[in-house]
Amino acid sequence: MKKYKQILWLLIGAALIASLFIRQPRFIDAHTIDLIDQARRLDFEDCWPGYQPDMYPVEVYKRNLLGRDSIVRYDKNGLYEIKDKTPVYALSMDVDPDGQAVVRMITARDYQSLSDMGNYDGPSADLSYQAVFAHEAFHCFQFDRGFYDLFKQRTSACQKSSVAATSRKLDHDPEYQKLWVDEMHRLIDYAKEGNAKNHQAYLHSYQMRLDYLYSSLEAEDADEYLSYSALYEKSEGTAQYIENIALSRLSGKKLEFSITGYGADASKFYDSGFLKSYILDQKKGLDWKTDFFTTDKTFEDYLLEADRL
Amino acid sequence: MKALIKLHVKENARGRSFVLFGILGGLVSLVLLTGGLVIVDNNPTEKIISQFGTQWKFLSILSGLAAVAVSMGTIERHRKEKRTELLALHGLGLDRQLFSLAIGNAIVSIMLSAILALVLVFIVIFGQAPTSLLGFAAAFASYLLTAGIVALIVSVLNMFLPGVVAAVLGVFLVMIGSFHQIIQGMFLNNSQPAGRILGKAMNLLPPLDVFNRLTRCLFFLEFNGGRDLTVFLIFIWLTMTAVYLAGKGVSRREKI
């Protein structure tokens, strides 16, 4: 009798493990493909002319239970597995040797796991996944517009300079953090209500931060830091703008403007760039997008002008 | 065997820790329901779902720690007592004694976890929770079984290691397991061979966050696939098998 129980127990285990293998999709799960398909069909022509998420191939990180993990590529040829390339578990963009920009994704299930502090439900995590797809595909669009030549040039210059040390120093400076957060609140007010009063309040707040930077740092370091922050705001802030718009459209909810505090390193530039992109987009007749990625122009070049809202 | 399990549960299912965890769980539930929320901008999740989801996440971590507190040192203590040999003389081999104690630990942990979530249960019954009776029962069962798995693993560790070491490893297991997928993602994100190996090796640790996601999916009635459930059942099976084999191994080594 005991022997039969043991055999039954082993059979249960074997059946469970076998079901895990049987249910593993050949490439990627249908739900992930479905979400990517929906995200690729999103139309951003009204908020960034020329940007279409379906222009770029997608490479999804595939976890294999026993073998090495691999990449599943999804492009005009359909779905196929690439085994001779090192997979990277990330949400980002990559460039093929032939110069084609590619969106790097993980599966929707993996994405839900990464964003999981208990505060997302399944459908919301799916919406967020699609919005992040739009964000990463926008980085591919930036690449196509020539921004990455500029980005590489500037970041290699930053690596040789002391900007990393300056950034760390400011991240630990409570006074600078206070000034930054205050400027963000002024930007939020300006985004919510684009009147001259809020514009002036933003200008004042920006000037206060600028004064502090030049009074507490060497002029050269302050210039370098401002150039570094403008670069990340341009790169990540515009992509965050696209992501937030995608999320708003997919969820049917209004865009939210809020800030939870001072973000260390480059994380704060996502929010500041998003707010600035939104504000500039409200300015009727202002063409700020055509050469934004090919020139040294910053958000401030437009925001500091007289209010035209 | 049943008598030993009953005795073990009776000896351990009382005391201050039950009251303490009851109060702790109640406080967590009340704080999170009266405004405590992990805020994420532009998160389209309904507020009430975020609040209940965060509660389940916190309760899962606390119940894991409670299971470690309950199980640490119990096996070690039992083996030092004279009744081990007495029970063996009466026909209950050491392997079956150890198995009984591990099951007893799991039962006590499950009881403690139930007390931890008592306030949440009242809120669900008398408040407006986005669930059904069946969804809540299934979610509650998976939440309790997760605590049981932790207790069984700590029991296995305690068969080979001193109680304190088993407790430290148990806490490590709960903390890593509660953020398993995020930590695994960090390893896999590092494209170095060591990162990939560590990422794969993490598949051997119980993903408590996946079990917790299963709990939340059942609670919010959005259960849409069996993968998380299959992983959950596989870990229950593996843990029970490990308890059985570890008991056999210890018994054979000590020839009782």
Chain B residues lying within 8 Å of A114, measured CB to CB: 181-182, 185
B55 touches chain A (CB under 8 A): yes
Q: Would you state the pLDDT for residue B241?
A: 95
- The predicted pLDDT at position A189 comes to 93
Indicate whether B18 pLDDT > 80: no
Closest residue to B44, CB basis, from A12, A112, A247 = A247
Q: Which of A269-278, B112-121, B187-196, B246-255 has the highest mean pLDDT?
A: A269-278
Nearest CA in chain B to A107: B185
Kindly determine whether residue B199 and residue A16, on different chains, have CB atoms separated by under 8 Å: no
Contact B1, B94 (CB under 8 A): no
pLDDT at B233: 95
Number of Cβ pairs closer than 8 Å across A and B?
112
If you average pLDDT over each of A76-90, A276-290, B86-100, B136-150, which comes out highest? B136-150
Is the pLDDT at B170 greater than 90? The verdict is yes
Kindly report the nearest CA distance between residue B102 and chain A, in angstroms.
18
Q: Do B188 and A251 touch (CB under 8 A)?
A: no
- Mean pLDDT in residue range B80-86: 74
Q: Is pLDDT larger for residue A245 or for residue B26?
A: A245
Instruction: Give B-chain residues touching A122 at CB under 8 angstroms.
Output: 217, 220, 222, 224
Question: Most A CBs within 10 Å: which of B41, B211, B245, as the mutation test of the A interface?
Answer: B41
Percentage of residues of chain B with pLDDT beyond 70: 91
Please report which confidence band the pLDDT of residue B15 belongs to, taking 50, 70 and 90 as the band edges. low
> Can you tell me the mean pLDDT for B153-166?
91
Strand partners, A104: A59, A92
Residue extents of the structural domains in chain A: 25-126, 147-303
Dist. CA A29–CA A62, nearest whole Å: 10
**How confident is the model at residue B41, as a pLDDT?**
60
Average pLDDT over residues B178-189: 90
Phi first, then psi, for residue A58 (nearest 5°) are: -120, 135
Residues of chain A with pLDDT under 50: 309
Check pLDDT > 60 for residue B256: no
Cβ of B210 within 8 Å of Cβ of A120? The answer is no
Q: Which of A115, A68, A67 is nearest to A91 (CA)?
A: A115
CB B74 within 8 A of CB B5: no
Please, what is the average pLDDT of chain B? 84
Q: How far apart are CA A269 and CA A265, in angstroms?
A: 9
B229-256 b/e (C-beta count within 10 Å ≥ 16 → b): bbbbbbbbbbbbebbbebbbebbeeeeb
- Give residue A306's pLDDT: 54
Where b means 16+ CB within 10 Å and e means fewer, A114-129 reads bbbebbbbbbbbbbbb
CA distance A89 to chain B (A): 4
For residues B147 and B109, the answer to whether their CB atoms sit within 8 Å is: yes
Question: Under an 8 A CB cutoff, do A17 and B234 touch?
Answer: yes
Tell whether A295 lies on the interface with B, counting CB pairs under 8 A: no
Question: Does residue B255 carry a pLDDT above 70?
Answer: no
* Mutation for testing the B interface, residue in A119, A128, A245, A270 having most B CBs under 10 Å: A119
Residue-by-residue DSSP string for A208-270: HHHHHHHHHS-HHHHHHHHHHHHHHIIIIIHHHHHHHHHHHHHHT--------SPPPTTTHHH
**Average confidence (pLDDT) over B160-176:** 92
Residue A91 contacts B where some CB pair is shorter than 8 Å:
no
Tell me: pLDDT of B37 over 60: no
Q: By the CB < 8 Å criterion, does B212 face chain A?
A: yes
The enclosing H or E element of B157 equals helix B133-160
Q: What is the pLDDT of residue B40?
A: 58
Asked if A89's CB is within 8 angstroms of B199's CB, the reply is: yes
State residue A229's pLDDT score.
92
Q: Do B234 and A260 touch (CB under 8 A)?
A: no
**Option in A13, A69, A112 nearest B241 (CB):** A13
Residue B143 CB coordination number (10 Å): 26
Minimal Cβ distance to A20: which of B39, B210, B234: B234
Residue ranges of E strands in A27-131: 58-62, 70-75, 78-82, 92-95, 101-105
| Mean of pLDDT values over B103-113 | 90
Contact A20 B227 (CB under 8 A): yes
CA B243: distance to chain centroid? Answer: 15
